[in-house]
Structure 1
Amino acid sequence: MIRTIATGLIWAALLSSIHAAPTSGKRNVLLICIDDLRPELGCYGKNYMQTPNIDRLAAQGRRFSRHYVQAPSCGPSRYSLLTGLYDSPSSSNNALFDRGKNKEQASPSLPAWFKKQGYKTVSVGKVSHHPGGWGGQDWDEKDQLEMPGSWSEQFMPCGPWKHPRGAMHGLANGEIRGGKKGTMAVFQSHDGPDEAYPDGLITEKGLNELKRLSAEDQPFFLAIGLIRPHLPFGAPARYLPPYKDAKLPPTPHPSKPPGKTTWAKSGEFKRYDQFGRDAWTDPDFALELRKHYAACVSYVDAMVGRILLQLEESGKADDTIVVLWGDHGWHLGEHAVWGKHTLFEESLHSPLIIRVPGINKPGEACESIVETVDLYPTLCELTKLETPSNLSGQSLVADLEGKPTRTDSALSYWNGHNTLRTERYRIIVHKNDYIELYDHQSAEAESKNIASEQPSVVAQLKKELEAKRP
């Protein structure tokens, strides 16, 4: 806790006014990807959450309050981030590997495009689906690239976890999830340093790369991918005390929705040891799970603080665009789901914060509905690079300047189904054309399917979805 507080104080003291233009050459890009991060942060109005570093970043940049990912799973969501394209509704965690096998790719990946324009592109941790960006049984086969031609260098420090697959689902000091169901604890609070968990090592490597790249003349595109708060909910013990006596709000819509929906069975969650308890019937255990998730968020917030402090100390903050992006949301009991694989709001709504040197009215939120595919054209425009012509998204530069121009709808998909989120509604079109329609102006929101009551709304939204769907 002392280290976290000290980091925040030092960083705050170092911050100065944001200049309108880079001091030299092209602007750098620092992309921070965070796994399974809900928009449950202080800067998103959740005052029971301890996230001072992400909150401070939001106060200096633009928080997008209604950002939606393309898919409620790591691989296809990161595909959209790193290609700027929608994928098939059946897109899987292998989406980037499958793309890499296709020699006739529609356009270069986001890092490949920056690399072609003279940037040094470096990834550390979980940026694509596999931490490090390699394939093989343990995700460490260096000749099997998830994104060929994209990164100048790519790193995944594994320490006692031995390989990226072990670190992805690791607990303290090298514990690796085995093949047998229920052998690893679903949460843990270990009395040890940040480096007792994989994100501590990822952060240390990210800091070293940031120091190295900042000392070079070549502009850089550095992506750092942090794993927590992904399952299992393990974090150093000092991040849990703020939540011991915290009053968390009740879980909205905790029951399974009636009828046919894209409800998920929480299969990934059930792989872990629940200590003989049941989150669906034991409210005290459900609350304990939520608090351990929150501790993981505070842990990763501290890692973000260390990264941004290093950027300030490097002297490159005024030349660097910072993007903090969550790859999707996560259900903590909403709709009786403990997981992410649905097309409900909790799975698809995630944080997005962009800090640009010289941004107008820093700290103001953007209320436009935006999508992950919008980031690729946004970064091209911010760095004055030509934008590939076939990208699916729209630049958010006007939104960053307080002059939103984009269409307010977001397309997402999973398991063969499509959904469109608009200002008021969410429509979900199943692969057999069954329809779910939810009204977000109603207190029932996504707990009551009103498709049969609103045929004209269904017809209009289906038309909009089909027009958006490539």
Structure 2
Amino acid sequence: MILKKLLLPLLFTLALNAEPETYTPKNVLLICVDDLRPELKSFGVDYIHSPNIDRLANSGRAFHRHYVNAPTCGASRYSLLTGQYGSSNNQALFTRAKQMEKSDASVSPSLPEWFRKNGYKTVSVGKVSHHPGGWGGEDWYDNNILEMPNAWDRQLMPTGQWKHPRGAMHSLAHGEIKPIGSFSKHKVDAFQSVEGKDTIYHDGLIGEAGVEQLKDLSSSETPFFLAIGFIKPHLPFGSPARYMEPYKDVELPAIPYPEKPDWPSTWHGSGEFFSQYHHYGKDPRTDADYADKVRRHYAACVSYVDKMVGHILETLEASGKADETIVVLWGDHGWNLGEHSIWGKHNLFEEALRAPLIIATPNMKNAGEKTEAIVETTDIFPTLCELNGLPFPDFVHGESLVPILENPDASGHPAYSYWKNAKTIRTETHRFTLHEDGYAELYDHTSPFKESLNIADQNPQLVESYKQLLQQESSLHQTY
């Protein structure tokens, strides 16, 4: 795989020399969704109401085995926006920005900066990088502290009743916010369903701002790169009451693998979920009815975001630019809803690392056919460059997905991820996780046990093979 990555720039150049092709730059519409596991009808979850994202999947290519490089917002978005492996630190993009201030030549351009350098108008709305709006400082609202310098011609974060981006990030209806401090004794409810229009929750404002920016950009002949980031279904799970309607009487399937692993792993006690939000003495790990309520409210948040995505896609169609625009929908990581007795992300199990990815291009071949090829978030940067004929970014760690966009049966490649003191690699048949102290987890995805049975001790030769493969990937891993 390493050799393939090293040869990609050369192969790309040779291909262009052998078959000169004239590219017409396409617009790029990137839609990011926070904490979205593949909880979508188009990804096989029948009880979910997600018609707008499903329509996008039917017009493009849904990657059913896309894996993020880190199971946390900031680090995952670092991989998306740089095309590189980084650390599991949520501040990775801010660290990169500080390196840029020092004129560190090792810092390569970001994805939007690369497009901006090549003649695109770049705009972000909402949560695209880790902080909604892309600023730092108190309440994440200091326009002089940029998370991604040189990236955006314009960056926006409507805040409304929530007053500032930090407030909007962890909010409920009508301006209610989670107080500052991760483990403050002042908490908000873990879920909520309130009557009202879409803008009583913050993603309604992000949707409106995204629509306005899309209209403005579509009125120009300059190609655009527009990124719109929605915050739900991130905790707390709050959405307008009507989005709960499809889930009132539906029967949810049983939680698979609900038991806590009895071997060392990246399991955790779901601290974000339990310590930062009110549960009134209830625990979904032991209370099936409460677990059911949490899952329904998560699903309602998915449907709420789906509606916002629908507004964006309808605006694109009405603009007349749909045939000139590449649309990407990306989830920044998954979220365990009780699998392995975890309610949250921040682990290296399948549920935290697998997230939706849909890419729709104009005149796509085999549109609507899903792919089971394994891919990772770092692949998005080079894919968008190849689709638009931009210079190949030879500093990225990912591979172009254009062959899979052309043929859904084309092969993918192993996906590499990391979290704190462990790293993992997902292949067609297995997940292998190696801890810093040398302890190994090996899971057979061809068996019905999947990640509920660690078979490392019974397969020492296979463990050694995976150690070598993981070491190859780790050679590209930069720590910030």
What TM-score do you get using the length of structure 1 for normalisation?
0.93
CA contact (8 A) 2:201 2:239 kept: yes
Distance 1:396 1:404, change over 3 A: farther
Q: Give the match's secondary structure for 2:312.
A: helix
Match 1:296 to one of 287, 301, 304 = 301
CA contact (8 A) 2:178 2:186 kept: no
Q: Give the match's secondary structure for 2:441.
A: strand
- Structure 1 residues 98-107 or 184-193, which shifts more? 98-107
Is 1:420 the counterpart of 2:425 in the alignment? yes
TM-fit CA distance, 1:431: 1.1
Is 1:455 the counterpart of 2:455 in the alignment? no
Per-residue CA deviations over 1:316-339 (Å, capped at 9, x if unaligned) read: 000000000000000000000000
Is 1:57 the counterpart of 2:56 in the alignment? yes
Is 1:203 the counterpart of 2:223 in the alignment? no
Q: Please, which runs of 5 or more residues in structure 2 have no aligned partner?
A: 1-22
CA contact (8 A) 1:360 1:400 kept: yes
Q: Give the match's secondary structure for 2:385.
A: helix
Letter in 2 for 1:86: Y
Is 1:126 the counterpart of 2:127 in the alignment? yes
Counterparts of 2:355 and 2:254, CA distance in 1: 20
Q: Please, which runs of 5 or more residues in structure 1 have no aligned partner?
A: 1-23
CA contact (8 A) 2:179 2:186 kept: no
| Equivalent residue, structure 1, for 2:264 | 260
Counterparts of 1:204 and 1:65, CA distance in 2: 29
- Structure 1 residues 230-239 or 272-281, which shifts more? 272-281
| Equivalent residue, structure 1, for 2:189 | 185
Per-residue CA deviations over 1:124-164 (Å, capped at 9, x if unaligned) read: 00000000000012000000000001111100000010000
CA contact (8 A) 2:207 2:312 kept: yes
| Equivalent residue, structure 1, for 2:84 | 85
CA contact (8 A) 2:30 2:328 kept: yes
| Equivalent residue, structure 1, for 2:96 | 99
| Equivalent residue, structure 2, for 1:151 | 152
- Structure 1 residues 99-108 or 340-349, which shifts more? 99-108
- Structure 1 residues 386-395 or 373-382, which shifts more? 386-395
Per-residue CA deviations over 1:230-287 (Å, capped at 9, x if unaligned) read: 0000000000011011111100000100121100211110110012211111000000
CA contact (8 A) 2:382 2:398 kept: yes
CA contact (8 A) 2:83 2:382 kept: yes
CA contact (8 A) 2:24 2:388 kept: no
Distance 1:404 1:465, change over 3 A: farther
Runs of 4+ in 1 over 3 A off after TM superposition: 403-407
Counterparts of 2:324 and 2:272, CA distance in 1: 41
TM-fit CA distance, 1:217: 1.7
Is 1:224 the counterpart of 2:245 in the alignment? no
Counterparts of 1:204 and 1:334, CA distance in 2: 35
| Equivalent residue, structure 1, for 2:373 | 368
Residues 330-341 of structure 1 correspond to what in structure 2 (within 5 A)? 330-341=335-346
| Equivalent residue, structure 2, for 1:316 | 321
Give the CA RMSD over aligned residues. Answer: 1.1
Q: Give the match's secondary structure for 2:318.
A: helix
TM-fit CA distance, 1:366: 1.1
Q: Give the match's secondary structure for 1:147.
A: coil
Number of matched residues? 445
CA contact (8 A) 2:443 2:454 kept: yes
TM-fit CA distance, 1:407: 4.7
Q: Give the match's secondary structure for 1:447.
A: coil
TM-fit CA distance, 1:362: 0.6
Q: Give the match's secondary structure for 1:268.
A: helix
Letter in 2 for 1:368: A
TM-fit CA distance, 1:416: 2.5
Counterparts of 1:209 and 1:193, CA distance in 2: 21
Counterparts of 2:125 and 2:448, CA distance in 1: 42
CA contact (8 A) 1:359 1:400 kept: yes
| Equivalent residue, structure 1, for 2:166 | 165
Residues 348-363 of structure 1 correspond to what in structure 2 (within 5 A)? 348-363=353-368
Counterparts of 1:182 and 1:266, CA distance in 2: 18
CA contact (8 A) 1:107 1:388 kept: no
Is 1:437 the counterpart of 2:437 in the alignment? no
| Equivalent residue, structure 2, for 1:5 | none
Counterparts of 1:282 and 1:448, CA distance in 2: 24
CA contact (8 A) 1:63 1:365 kept: yes
| Equivalent residue, structure 1, for 2:6 | none
| Equivalent residue, structure 2, for 1:43 | 42
TM-fit CA distance, 1:443: 1.6
Is 1:285 the counterpart of 2:290 in the alignment? yes
Counterparts of 1:416 and 1:84, CA distance in 2: 22
Letter in 2 for 1:169: H
Per-residue CA deviations over 1:90-127 (Å, capped at 9, x if unaligned) read: x3000000011113243200000000001000000000
| Equivalent residue, structure 1, for 2:413 | 408
Q: Give the match's secondary structure for 1:138.
A: helix
Counterparts of 1:313 and 1:405, CA distance in 2: 33
TM-fit CA distance, 1:343: 0.2
